């Protein structure tokens, strides 16, 4: 018999992770390198229009990933849920969950603040301020997204391993 609650939570969890991971990898592989080659005017326009949307998307998908992951774990541990994970598989899943939390903390500590700062610097330079710190903040945002991407790939491998074992 199909456990629809488990299946729904699993789809929501995996879907939000795919969104988070896809956004992080897209930033590292496409957006970050593209920003470096843009003219200053195009960088400003891009930063004001796309960076806030991107950072909100990453924040929402990362929060949803954690919420649905916690709900999925809680449901699978309920007596009578019908979901059985081997003890060796559980170790892999817990390791993946731990790294997922580290990736989330990096989003909150590096990616989100850097995105906000990029927009702030661009607005200041449009009103006559200096643009010296922009490259440094953009580099920090790319570095943070790169680390988060790498962690999420490892998390994916750990979670799949835990589910298969």
CATH of the domain at 95: 1.20.120
pTM: 0.89
Could you write out the three-class secondary structure of 69-122? HHHHHHHHHCCCCCCCCCHHHHHHHHHHHHHHHHHHHHHHHHHHHHHHHHHHHH
Domain total for the chain? 1
Per-residue pLDDT reduced to its tens digit, 60-119? 999 999 999 999 989 988 887 777 777 889 899 999 999 999 999 999 999 999 999 999
Confidence of residue 3 (pLDDT cuts 50, 70, 90): confident
Determine the structural domain holding residue 109 and report its residue range: 4-164
| pLDDT tens per residue, range 102-151 | 999 999 999 999 999 999 999 888 776 666 678 889 889 999 999 999 99
Token pair recorded at residue 117: 């700062």
- How many other CB atoms sit within 10 Å of the CB of residue 11? 11
Please state the separation of Cα 99 from the chain's center in Å. Answer: 12
């Amino acid at each position: 018999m199909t456990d629809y609650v488990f299946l729904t939570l699993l789809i929501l969890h995996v879907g939000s992770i795919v969104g988070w991971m896809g956004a992080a990898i897209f930033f590292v592989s496409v957006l970050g390198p593209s920003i470096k080659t843009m003219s200053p005017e195009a960088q400003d326009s891009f930063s004001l229009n796309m960076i806030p949307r991107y950072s909100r998307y990453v924040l929402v998908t990362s929060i949803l990933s954690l919420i649905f992951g916690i709900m999925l774990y809680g449901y699978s541990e309920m007596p009578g849920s019908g979901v059985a994970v081997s003890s060796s598989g559980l170790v892999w899943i817990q390791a993946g969950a731990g790294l997922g939390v580290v990736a989330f903390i990096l989003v909150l500590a590096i990616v989100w603040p850097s995105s906000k700062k990029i927009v702030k610097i661009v607005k200041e330079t449009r009103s006559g301020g200096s643009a010296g710190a922009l490259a440094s903040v953009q580099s920090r945002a790319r570095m943070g997204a790169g680390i988060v991407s790498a962690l999420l790939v490892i998390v994916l491998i750990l979670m799949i391993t835990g589910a298969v074992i």
